[in-house]
Structure 1
């Protein structure tokens, strides 16, 4: 079957490590696993990190990339694939598709049957394919960890990427006042068009916020602390611009701030996210849709750093 996979690692030029070609049919790890015919998938920075060799050993090459997928199950049902699988061989007890088990950027993918959720009627396959990783992470950051229902104002650092842009769209759909930072003026204009107040990094906000969505790291963390209201939650799911920020501990205890780490979400979280998007008519912010025949171009688009929202791959084209 055709697939996009890591054939080697290249930290300096991850796109050079990407191969598009034939790979064996997916393997079932247990009796409860099924094979899904993939209809649509989306890319994540996790895929670029894999091509760099982060979190992936040479003993697992070649590895089909991709965490997100919408497809057709063996009974002919349209399904969304939850990408976290039980994995006794991983210290976490679980792993993402494309870490140990082959990923979704292929004609077919194998997963436990319990990882399949019905595709809501109101969501297209290409829209739903954006949700299982980046949007699920943003959903959990806002709800379970950030307890956004207890607050009115949200700050999203580094909007433009998949998780941050998802957090902006979801928080707005929840009726919150949303502030979002970006170094790129064009991205700030697009953020404002979504309904958020867009500001340059480090800009003083007109109010302190109850929840901060932090995916940038050291470059923005001091601003996150200074922008937080008393007893606010600063939820961290990434550190693309440094993972060792200087932290003012006096501000944390004086303001009674909570710094919370999170990654991905549960299957139930994904079910809630799918229902929320269908009921509230929330659609993912899509940067571009590429046919599978141009999956290399999709990776190049993600790697460019110019993306706003999700890069999607249509497997039917």
Structure 2
């Protein structure tokens, strides 16, 4: 089958470590099935893998990709939940770390990792959801307890999880504020239904929940933007992982700080249902064929991306 894989590790020039070509078809262990991939989507995780983050030399060559939608052996339309357990050890990892990923014509996954794809979503749309969008959904719903009438601040609009959080928050009926230093990204956030503000600017109100993926650069602003009893939900630290935490504000205002990543298959099913019910759709930046996946990686690596980069079979 045709696939995109990490043939080596190159921190300085990750794209040079990417190879595209024929590899053996997957052979699933007991309890696993082979899914025919119709669409997949890139994540920065794929670039980090080429740099050796989370992927060791002993695992090479490794098919890349975490997200996918396709058809199971019975022809059912499914979305692949990307966190899998090793049948031998029970330890979990995300696809493309210990087990081959989704940037291929076929992928082997546990049968329990398959979530039905709603008919309302295309394969390309559904393929965008299992990683960044699922993380944002868990941050807002399970951790942030966001619903109709809530207020939310999303720091760093433009990033994958942050962009998803803006769109999901609006679909949930919340008032969403989104920050960015980039005027064009603030404009895009406004088109998604957010109230866009410059990074660090005072908000019109204090909010119930802050979605924090930036880290040190925005953390103080995040704390100050919460109303008493608010929830600061963290899933990233792109600007640094050792921010200053104001403990007096924390206990005087009864603020909760919650860390999280990814989500569960049940939460993925909830996200899919929300999309089907409300018309919420992931933002697709661009679409490439698997044959042109090198161009997809180059586009993501260049950095001027708003939304998901999709790869179709």
TM-score, normalization: structure 2? 0.97
- Secondary structure, counterpart of 2:296 in structure 1: helix
Selected match of 2:310 from 300, 309, 312: 312
Looking at structure 1, the residues matched to 200 and 23 of structure 2 have their Cα atoms a distance apart, in angstroms, of 47
| Contact residue 120 and residue 275 of structure 1 kept, 8 A | yes
Q: CA deviation at 1:251?
A: 1.5
Check if 1:31 corresponds to 2:35.
Answer: no
- Secondary structure, counterpart of 2:201 in structure 1: coil
Q: Which residue of 2 aligns with 1:8?
A: 8
Matches within 5 A, 1:87-236: 87=86, 93-149=91-147, 152-236=150-234
Q: Which runs of 5+ in 1 are unaligned?
A: none
Check if 1:254 corresponds to 2:264.
Answer: no
- Secondary structure, counterpart of 1:16 in structure 2: helix
Matches within 5 A, 1:259-270: 259-270=257-268
Selected match of 1:286 from 284, 287, 290: 284
Looking at structure 2, the residues matched to 151 and 159 of structure 1 have their Cα atoms a distance apart, in angstroms, of 21
Looking at structure 1, the residues matched to 43 and 298 of structure 2 have their Cα atoms a distance apart, in angstroms, of 12
TM-score, normalization: structure 1? 0.95
Q: Which residue of 2 aligns with 1:44?
A: 43
C-alpha distance after superposition, 1:243-266 (max 9, x if no partner): 111222222122111111111100
| Contact residue 216 and residue 239 of structure 1 kept, 8 A | yes
Q: CA deviation at 1:89?
A: 6.7
Compared CA separation, residues 151 and 248, structure 1 to 2 (3 A) = farther
C-alpha distance after superposition, 1:15-60 (max 9, x if no partner): 12211122221232x3111111100000111111111111111100
Compared CA separation, residues 273 and 9, structure 1 to 2 (3 A) = same
Looking at structure 1, the residues matched to 306 and 88 of structure 2 have their Cα atoms a distance apart, in angstroms, of 36
Looking at structure 2, the residues matched to 267 and 294 of structure 1 have their Cα atoms a distance apart, in angstroms, of 30
Q: CA deviation at 1:149?
A: 3.0
Q: CA deviation at 1:291?
A: 1.3
Provide the alpha-carbon RMSD of the alignment.
1.4
| Contact residue 148 and residue 174 of structure 2 kept, 8 A | no
Q: CA deviation at 1:88?
A: 6.2
Looking at structure 1, the residues matched to 248 and 16 of structure 2 have their Cα atoms a distance apart, in angstroms, of 46
C-alpha distance after superposition, 1:65-105 (max 9, x if no partner): 10100111111111111111112677x83111111010000
- Secondary structure, counterpart of 2:281 in structure 1: coil
Looking at structure 1, the residues matched to 243 and 216 of structure 2 have their Cα atoms a distance apart, in angstroms, of 4
- Secondary structure, counterpart of 1:69 in structure 2: strand
Looking at structure 2, the residues matched to 181 and 37 of structure 1 have their Cα atoms a distance apart, in angstroms, of 39
Q: Which residue of 1 aligns with 2:297?
A: 299
Looking at structure 1, the residues matched to 178 and 196 of structure 2 have their Cα atoms a distance apart, in angstroms, of 5
Compared CA separation, residues 47 and 89, structure 1 to 2 (3 A) = farther
Check if 1:65 corresponds to 2:64.
Answer: yes
Q: CA deviation at 1:12?
A: 2.1
Check if 1:78 corresponds to 2:77.
Answer: yes
Q: CA deviation at 1:13?
A: 2.1
Compared CA separation, residues 300 and 248, structure 1 to 2 (3 A) = same
C-alpha distance after superposition, 1:192-251 (max 9, x if no partner): 111101111111111111111111111111111111111111111111111111222222
- Secondary structure, counterpart of 1:80 in structure 2: strand
